[in-house]
């Protein structure tokens, strides 16, 4: 999925092109996609991102790092291997990434791997379990973005992931409903232990 928007108020009619597989997970605060390309930077800038969660072990592209520095966007990297091996998906890395996602101080946040399918799909799926989605809805969303490339190993990981790993760390979270009646995670207090991760910026 690719979103193309015309930048308002621009006489040149500049087009904002989203990264591959882009979508909002939670409106105006959590997004997902594949690896952004330089052509996507104007679109990302329009989201007013505070942070990016990168789920690959490879170094973040220098061009992307430069964009993050210029726009004061923080990078959280969790090096999860992209192979089909069942052991590749790390429960501990997913849990640490969820701590970042559910901290509203990091919003708006973009989650991505290379194609926005498997690693991103597993992380978003675990977030949905934390939000009390039924398993069939979690699987449906995962398959929607993975397409024909969905993996049985990912589905088994999603089924087995224990959200109690993260729930006890998030006791201060409350759900609030806004005019749009969209559910958003918020903290009552700002005190939360910093997650362990590879800090790039």
Active-site residue list:
113
Contact 48, 70 (CB under 8 A): no
Burial of 152 (0-12, 13-18, 19+ CB in 10 A): exposed
Q: Residues 97, 103, 105, 108: is their CA dihedral positive or negative? A: positive
How many Å apart are CA 184 and CA 173, to the nearest integer?
Answer: 10
CB-based burial, 80-103: b 16+ in 10 Å, e otherwise: bebeeeeebbbeebbbbbbbbbbb
Q: How far apart are CA 98 and CA 144, in angstroms?
A: 21
DSSP state of 81: -
Pull the structure tokens for residue 117: 């399918």
């Amino acid at each position: 999925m690719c979103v193309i928007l015309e930048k308002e108020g621009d006489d040149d009619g500049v087009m904002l092109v989203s990264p591959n597989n882009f979508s909002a997970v939670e409106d105006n605060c959590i997004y997902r996609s594949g690896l952004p390309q330089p052509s996507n930077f104007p679109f990302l800038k329009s989201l007013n991102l505070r942070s990016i969660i990168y789920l690959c072990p490879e170094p973040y592209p220098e061009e992307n790092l430069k964009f993050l520095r210029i726009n004061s966007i923080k990078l959280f990297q969790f090096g999860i291997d992209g192979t089909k091996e069942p052991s590749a998906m790390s429960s501990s890395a997913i849990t640490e990434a969820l701590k970042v996602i559910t901290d509203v101080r990091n919003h708006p946040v973009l989650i991505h791997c290379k194609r926005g399918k498997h690693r991103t799909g597993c992380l978003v799926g675990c977030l949905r379990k934390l939000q009390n989605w039924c398993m069939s809805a979690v699987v449906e969303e995962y398959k929607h973005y993975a397409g024909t490339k969905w993996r049985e190993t990912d589905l088994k990981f999603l089924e087995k992931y224990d959200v109690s790993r993260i729930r006890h760390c998030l006791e201060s979270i409350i759900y609030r409903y806004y005019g749009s009646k969209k559910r958003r995670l918020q903290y009552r207090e700002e005190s939360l232990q910093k997650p362990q991760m590879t800090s790039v910026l």
